[in-house]
Amino acid sequence: MKDNTLLPLNNFKKIKGPLVAVVLDGIGFGKDDGSDGVKVSYTPTLDKLFKEPLFTRLKAHGTAVGLPTDDDMGNSEVGHNALGAGRVFAQGAKLVSEAIASGAIFSGTSWSVIENRCGAGGTLHLIGLVSDGNVHSHIDHLYAILNRCEESRIARVRIHGLLDGRDVGATSALDYFAPLEHHCAEMQKRGCNCRIASGGGRMVTTMDRYGADWTIVERGWNTHVLGSGRMFSSATEAISTYYEEDPGMTDQYMDPFVIADGTEPVGTIADGDSVVFFNFRGDRAIEISRAFEDQEFSHFDRQRYPEVFYAGMMEYDGDTKIPANYLVEPPAIDNTLGEYLCASGIRSFAISETQKFGHVTYFWNGNKSGYIDANLEKYVEIESDKLAFDLKPWMKAAEITDLVTEAIRSGRYDFIRVNYANGDMVGHTGVEPAIRIAVETVDLCLSRLLAAVEKAGGICLITADHGNADCMWTQKNGVRSPMVAHTLNPVPLIVKDYAQANRFLMAGIPEPGLANVAATLCVLLGLQPPGDYEPSLLELTTS
């Protein structure tokens, strides 16, 4: 077995306090104008930090985090993978696209089982986010599966499409569902009975994460499996009707709908069927997977539990093996920073609220749940509020800060990592006053945290996983539209050294990205970074 103990850094002088890594989720550098929620907010703490000598901007999207192209926005999952792994791994969309191109997605056991069950009369149900946002899913992947269904002579296919409005335009659903309906109609002409069967907005139907609100999953179960809900003759009719009834409606919060012939749902899920959840990102796929797979399930009354073969696009949790079956192998992320630090005896503390707790644990640790070494680590989750984030944009930042400052004062930890979710979760609402409050909340909490680090004689590294609050709206032909998706903007990297025991200089890494942070943390802890990690952004100097 490989020894992951890291060697001490030559000439490093031990510091009194801990190293604290702060992820300002969703806070990047925007256009420096009125659309930039970070710029227009009152942020005295960040303003000072951006003038620190140990400061740079990091790339947090595209190829820097393992996505196919630099047109692909980053997200919290791949961002935290990069932060915790110290290297760039091919991620979700890229993995799936490669598997489709090679045919590997359809050559495994799972697809073979699906073909056999459908050949015996079962229906194939495809559930997932219908957009080209490329964060949770991509509609091209859905079309690739539909094309394979025809090649495999699968006779009956039903699509349960979730509306995005978050990683794409806020009211762009018809741009995806209208062509998809046409595609289904063409498939029917060629002999494949393919129809859209149900749908709903991603924030109210099916796609909950981290157990924040199981009623979202229950709503999806009732809609997709039971065919229970408001009925329409087509998805486009449903979407258009909801828009007409509520001009302020956005896709991500659209009520669920069921497609029916008269009063008969066209696509309930029954014994003998197969189900593929075609999202590739794991966080919002785990709970619906459990609803399909867990024999003993208590989060809501499923009413009816059909015998189906369920497969995810990918394995969403490698430790708990959710789901049991999947179409595309996940990235094999080994030798994470957490593994090295545990092997080196570093005592760690990780904390966030529910919405981002999995990011500073599961994703940071290479898509693995649980402790690496429970004797050296402590993970703390603060339960998120169950209401729209623009209604309480301060979220749980104060409670997080209370516990972080307590952990700093305790002297029990060498390394502390924390995620403030406000910039991302409130940024996704597109509500400008709320975004400003969110950013200002984080700035205020950061000032409290820094004071605790200073008093303890520690070091604070501050960064972000991607942008969001840095672009609140876009403007075209004089008309403003809320910007609710992540951005392609760079994010900060600041090191505030209150210990002053060692002298660090910026290493001058060209085009640095999130993957450079892990080695940087090693250096700040006085450890030699692993040789295959992206290089440290800082170098220790004795001059």
Domain assignment present for 9? no
- Assign 90 a pLDDT band (cuts: 50, 70, 90): confident
Nearest to 390, CA basis, from 248, 238, 218: 248
Q: Are residues 340 and 310 in the same domain?
A: no
| Predicted structure pTM score | 0.77
Task: Quote the pLDDT of residue 71.
Answer: 83
Task: Quote the pLDDT of residue 211.
Answer: 85
Domain assignment present for 180? yes
The continuous run of DSSP H or E covering 77 comes out as: helix 76-85
Q: Are residues 259 and 274 in the same domain?
A: yes
Long-range Cβ contacts of 102-107 (<8 Å, 24+ apart):
104/328, 105/144, 105/327, 105/328, 106/148, 106/152, 106/327
Q: Into how many domains does the chain fold?
A: 2
Q: Are residues 361 and 485 in the same domain?
A: yes
Domain assignment present for 11? no
Say how many Å lie between the first and final Cα of the chain, rounded. 39
Q: Are residues 274 and 344 in the same domain?
A: no
Structural domain boundaries, residue 487: 19-90+332-541
Q: Is it the case that residue 308 has pLDDT exceeding 90?
A: yes
Residue after which a domain boundary falls, among 284, 303, 328: 328
The domain that holds 308 is classified in CATH as: 3.40.1450.10
Q: Are residues 177 and 241 in the same domain?
A: yes
Nearest to 73, CA basis, from 105, 128, 28: 28
Task: Quote the pLDDT of residue 93.
Answer: 86
Q: Is it the case that residue 341 has pLDDT exceeding 60?
A: yes
Q: Are residues 64 and 107 in the same domain?
A: no
Residues 500-537 have pLDDT tens digits of 999 999 999 999 999 999 999 999 999 999 999 999 99
Active site residue 76: yes
Q: Are residues 241 and 351 in the same domain?
A: no
In total, the chain counts a number of residues equal to 543
| Lowest-confidence region among 33-37, 66-70, 316-320 | 316-320
Residues β-bridged to residue 312: 277, 326
- The larger pLDDT score, comparing residue 158 to residue 72, is at 158
Task: Quote the pLDDT of residue 317.
Answer: 74
Domain assignment present for 210? yes
Q: Are residues 409 and 311 in the same domain?
A: no
Q: Are residues 317 and 248 in the same domain?
A: yes
Q: Are residues 402 and 523 in the same domain?
A: yes
Residues β-bridged to residue 59: 513
Residues 438-472 have pLDDT tens digits of 999 999 999 999 999 999 999 999 999 999 999 99
Domain assignment present for 486? yes
Residues 196-216 have pLDDT tens digits of 999 999 999 999 987 889 999
Residue after which a domain boundary falls, among 298, 328, 358: 328
Domain assignment present for 233? yes
Angle ∠(347,348,354) on CA atoms, nearest 5: 155
Domain assignment present for 36? yes
Pick the catalytic residue: 76, 110, 131, 274?
A: 76
Residues 109-141 have pLDDT tens digits of 999 999 999 999 999 999 999 999 998 999 999
Q: Is it the case that residue 238 has pLDDT exceeding 70?
A: yes
Q: Is it the case that residue 543 has pLDDT exceeding 70?
A: no
- Assign 63 a pLDDT band (cuts: 50, 70, 90): very high
| Main-chain phi, psi angles of 10, to 5 degrees | -60, 135
Q: Are residues 189 and 249 in the same domain?
A: yes
Task: Quote the pLDDT of residue 320.
Answer: 73
Average pLDDT of span 344-358: 97
Query: Can you list the alpha helix ranges (DSSP code H) found in 309-359?
Result: 337-343, 354-358
Long-range Cβ contacts of 113-116 (<8 Å, 24+ apart):
113/274, 113/309, 113/325, 114/154, 114/274, 114/276, 114/309, 114/311, 115/152, 115/154
Q: Are residues 323 and 397 in the same domain?
A: no
Domain assignment present for 356? yes
The domain that holds 493 is classified in CATH as: 3.40.720.10
